[in-house]
Every structure is written in structure tokens, then in C-alpha cells.
Structure 1
Amino acid sequence: MLIGYARVSTSGQNTAQQRAELAAAGCSRIFSENISGASRERPELQKMLDHIRAGDIIIVTRLDRLARSTIDLLNIGERIADAGAGLKSMAEPWADTTTPAGKMILTVFAALADFERSLILDRTSSGRAAAKARGVKFGPPPALTPEQIAHARELRETKSVSEVARLLGVHRATIYRALKD
């Protein structure tokens, strides 16, 4: 039996396109979910892995829909193999564990993909460090300006933190942090 698995990462996306491709490929059952691949809790993936039987073939539109790291891909691939099933990717024809060459190639390419991901993370980290060195500030802008903080100090002499926060339109914790600095 051909079994499909579709996944999208954000709530703004949907699996309709993947599901259509998997149905066109002949999948008689399709498991789909809207959850980050980085999440360890993927209920539909778990249902699919529990559902597969010997001789089944899992079809995905792309490998990144199934796994986000080499370890994850290899673990999922091992569970599929332990069930006596195979794995095929529509976008990566070399990723076909129903053949010995496909098993070997999948392992090599998964390692290369993980290596590439590591390089991207290193470049991103280096870029962030360089930006910080140039004085770029990350995160949301401060809730209060220096003038508002000075005003909060004055108000605090006669008013409670809750009253000051209400007057400035911020949470009490913001006032506590601002006055602490």
C-alpha cells in the first residue's frame, strides 16, 4: 500500500498541494499535519509510523516534510525499515529505500544536508555576532523612552508601580525593569 505523509510548518500554510500530489502518486491513505518539523511531537507522523505494515511504501513530496535533521531522518527511516516498509521522496528520486542503492544514497545525502544546515547556522551566527559588534540591537524596541523612564521615576515618588504603569500604558514588570536599571 502507498501511504502519503504531508506536513506544513505554520498555520498560514495548508497541506492541500502536497495532498493532491500524494493522491496523484497513488497514495491510498494520507496522513497530514500542520506542525513544525522541528517539533518532537508530530501526532500524525506517529500514527502513520504505527499504521505501516510490511510491504507498504511511505511517499513524501520532499524529505524536509518528513524530517528536519539527519538524525531525525535516519530514525524515521529505521522505524519504516523495521516495519518492513520503504520510503520514497517525489522531489528526490534518489531517496528510495526500496533499493539498496537508494538506502545508501539517502544516508549520504541526509548527512550532506545536515552538514549544509550546520554551515548555514554557523554563517547566521557569525552574521549576528558581526551585527552586534556594529551596535545592531536585536529584539523588540524598548517599551519606554529615556524620558518616560525619568518621568516614571518622578511619578514613583508619589504613586504606586501599578498607577505609574497604568499612566504610561505598560505592564508593571516594565516599570520595575526600567527603574532597576
Structure 2
Amino acid sequence: MSDAAAPPYPYGETDRPDAAPAPHPLLAPVLGLLGAWHGRGRGGYPTIDGEFTYAQEVTFTHDGRPFLRYEARAWLLGADDTPLRPAARESGWFRLRPEGRIEALITQPTGIAEIASGHAADGTVTLATDTVALTPTAKKVEATTRRYVITDGTLEFTHELAAAGEPLQHHLSAHLTHPGPHNH
């Protein structure tokens, strides 16, 4: 090893399809997802006392290879729309395959790791879990589905959940927009 400083790395991540590095051709069906999306949503589940409102941020970036880096976080909101506390957080990868097939790896700090597959086309991504792995103390999750739909510059997110002995059913939905100049 040399004591000389390492050269700067020329490849970073970007949330814009027009920035270097150029997106991989397999990303074509999901380029509209790139960027940071912010908004509000509502959720509920039989094991949760009542419905709740939340703020959500979802970010998709790429580094020129055929996958997106995915990051999402949410905050529970009070009746006056102020954040009460952090809620869900997850990160992962959406791997694009030929013909719009997509594979996703999504992990949560609560000890849940999902492997999902689905399809991306015409501004819509649908995913359903193939496998859910749990740490010994994680909440029992059997399956999830996720749907991301881009319409007129908004991202509609819906999430179904089968957990704690309950069947697959609606859990979350949010309406997200790009807050800045990088609207797609």
C-alpha cells in the first residue's frame, strides 16, 4: 500500500436521470421514481389501536448499474399535523431485470428483511414478498405487497401487510410529491 492519498472516486449516486452516471438501460421503467418524494399518508391495522396519520419521505437513487437504492422513513403526526415521533424506516435495493421484472431487498431496523419480486411498467411498480426473514425478537410478518404509482407528478404508495396472525390487508397509503426543482 502506498501512503499517497487515494484518487477521488468518479462514480457517485444520483437521484436524477440526466446526471452522470447515465442510468443503466434496464432502469427505463423506473426512471420516474428517481429523487426524493415527500408527503402524507394514513395507516391502520387490526393490531394497532385506531388509524393514524404520518409524514413520509421516500428516496430513489442510482449509480449507473441496473438497480435503485431505496430509502424510506416516516413520522407519526399529531392532530395538528406536527411530528410526534419517528415511525417506520427501511432501506434496500430494487434490482431491475429484463422486461420490467423487478426484485427488491428491503430491510427494517425492527429486524425484518423482505425479498420481493414484481413488475415495473408505465409508471407503476408492484411488489409482493417471496420471503420474509425475521430476527428472533422481530414482529411476526408473513407477507407484504407494495405498489408505487406515478400520476401527474405525484407518487401514490400503498402497502398491504399480513402480520401477527392477520391476513394480508391494507396497512398504509400515502400521496407523495417532489418538493424541489427535480420534478420528473
Same fold, judged at TM 0.5 (above): no
Normalising by structure 2, what TM-score?
0.27
Higher relative contact order (CA 8 A, sep 6+): 2
The TM-score normalised by the length of structure 1 is: 0.27
Which has the higher Rg, Structure 1 or Structure 2? 1
Greater fraction of residues in strand: 2
